[in-house]
Amino acid sequence: MPGITRKRTRIQAENENRIVSTSLDVFSSYGYRGSTVDQIAEAAGMSKANVLYYFKSKNDIYLAVLEDTLENWLNPLTELDAEGDPLLEIQTYIHAKLKLSRTSPAASRLFANEILQGAPMIGPYLKTDLKEMVDGKIAILKKWMQQGEIKTFEPIHLLFMIWSTTQHYADFAIQIAALDSSPKTKLHKDAEMFIDTVLLEGLKGPNYSGAFGQQ
């Protein structure tokens, strides 16, 4: 990607990061097709020519934003530890996803828009890198099931449920605000408590001997 592989000065790196971070709001608000380099330049407080110095096209900017978004959103899943307390590991992952929904809602909306459009930019990634990582985490969940630490079920649906539940707070923020006037911090704390009670308590297997519920 332009500006990523070449050696950069501190100023160049800062400008590229600024373009990527401000472009996130533009793309999440207007989608790829509805966004323009002029909008991105205005959001970044830079000239269009300066933006195109760092990234050759809108497509290159979009790819850089998606790359940054995927890295931030998938990091919590990579940290699921097979040797950890199963319920606490899953709880940590859920809470991390809820925090991202609160602090980076635009990133979730951008990803959702890309998927709704048929994943034209990240389709190959979903079938390769993401699939490989998810398969690894499913293996961990199956191990916990075999040990009786969590109940037995088709593990991919747990990930689907976590993703849909936590990212709902970002993707449908306007609807949530209309239905619940709680401050965001309280809203998400209440969501954590609800998911802990309903989902994690329901996952507890017959041989679970960890610390969940004893904090």
Give residue-wise pLDDT tens across range 82-94. 999 999 999 999 9
CA separation for the pair 210, 156 (Å, rounded): 23
Which tokens sit at 189? Answer: 């704390």
Q: Is 115 part of any domain?
A: yes
Are both 120 and 194 inside the same structural domain? yes
Domain span at 105: 69-203
**Same-domain status, 53 and 86:** no
Q: Report residue 104: phi and psi, to 5°.
A: -135, 55
Query: What is this structure's pTM?
Result: 0.86
User: Do residues 156 and 175 both lie within one domain?
Assistant: yes
Do 119 and 199 share a domain, yes or no? yes
Express each pLDDT in 121-171 by its tens digit. 899 999 999 999 999 999 999 999 999 999 999 999 999 999 999 999 999
Q: State the average pLDDT for the chain.
A: 91
Q: Total structural domains in the chain? A: 2
**Secondary element (H or E) of residue 138:** helix 131-146
Check whether residue 20 and residue 47 sit in a common domain.
Answer: yes
Task: Please tell me whether residues 78 and 113 are part of one structural domain.
Answer: yes
The token duo for 201 is 């308590």
In this prediction, what percent of the chain has a pLDDT beyond 90? 75
CATH number reported for the structural domain that contains residue 99 in this entry: 1.10.357.10
Specify whether 180 is located in the same domain as 98: yes
20 and 56, same domain (yes or no): yes
In a domain, 55, yes or no: yes
Angle between helices 156-171 and 105-116 (to 10 degrees): 120
Residue at a domain's end among 38, 62, 86:
62
> Is 146 inside any structural domain?
yes
Both tokens assigned to 164: 């849909």
Residues of the chain with pLDDT > 70, as a percent, come to: 96
pLDDT of residue 213: 78
Q: Which helix (H) or strand (E) holds 81?
A: none
83 shares its domain with 184: yes
